[in-house]
Structure formats: structure tokens, C-alpha cells
Structure 1
Amino acid sequence: MVATGVLFGVLAAVVGALIAVLLRRRNGGTQNADGLRIEQDRRLQARRDRVSFNAITLHGQAPNMTDQYRR
């Protein structure tokens, strides 16, 4: 019984720490125009990469169960 209480206490502490880290990160956004422009360029480049490197673009067809995936 005591071990279960300790386990839940540790889990609650970990969850609390993760919530604090996530809330602190949200407030750390970019504040200047240069940083916003860089973030926008990277987001647009990621979108272009997702479109140009998908399976249909590279192989001419959608992947299926018979494809041999390389590791």
C-alpha cells in the first residue's frame, strides 16, 4: 500500500514537471520579425518537402503491402 502511494506520488511529480516545462515553452515564442520570417520559411520548406518527397511523387504509385521497405 505504501509503495503504491509512493509510485503515484512520483508519477504526479513527473506529470507536474512536464506540464510546467510545456507551459514555459509556449511563452518562449519568437518576438521579432526576423525570427517570425525564419519560422515561416522553415514551415513552408517543410510543406514543400512533404509534397515533393512523398511515395507517389518518388515512385509513381502509392505504397502497398508488397513493397520491400529498405532499412
Structure 2
Amino acid sequence: MDKTIVFGHTSTFRLGVPPEELWYGDGKLGIDTGAGHGYYLSLVNLTSGIQWSISVTRPENITCRKMKITGASGLPK
């Protein structure tokens, strides 16, 4: 019960958050930020709480930020 399941293949925008954001709820962390739908490809470092994202339509736009997890509890903000 103290574990978090990290998953992809369900884009976070389908879970109700903006496509560049990660989703967290009930012990689950969604990290698919919609590359297959024309949004972002993300890399997540859970140890440091850093999320790297690259726009698939404008690949020169790379962002690095502290993880922004909508609805999170117990994970880095």
C-alpha cells in the first residue's frame, strides 16, 4: 500500500489534466504526456522530482521543471 504504480499509454489529458502535466491519483502516477497525439514526450526522474518534456510539434522547445503533479499527495510538487 505504500507503493505508487507508474504507468503510461493513457495520455494525461484523457485523465483531465493539461497534456504537459503528469497525473496522480489513488497511488497511481500517469506519465504519458501525449506524444502520440501531438503533444509532449516526457522523461520523469522520480528520485529528483524532475520532469523533462519536449514538444513533438516544436522539438526545439525542451522544458525542465520540478514535477507538477495534479492531485498529488506524498510525491514531490
- For the aligned pair, the TM-score class normalised by the smaller chain equals under 0.3
Alignment TM-score, normalising by the size of structure 2: 0.18
Larger-Rg structure:
1
Alignment TM-score, normalising by the size of structure 1: 0.18
Which has more helix, going by share of residues? 1
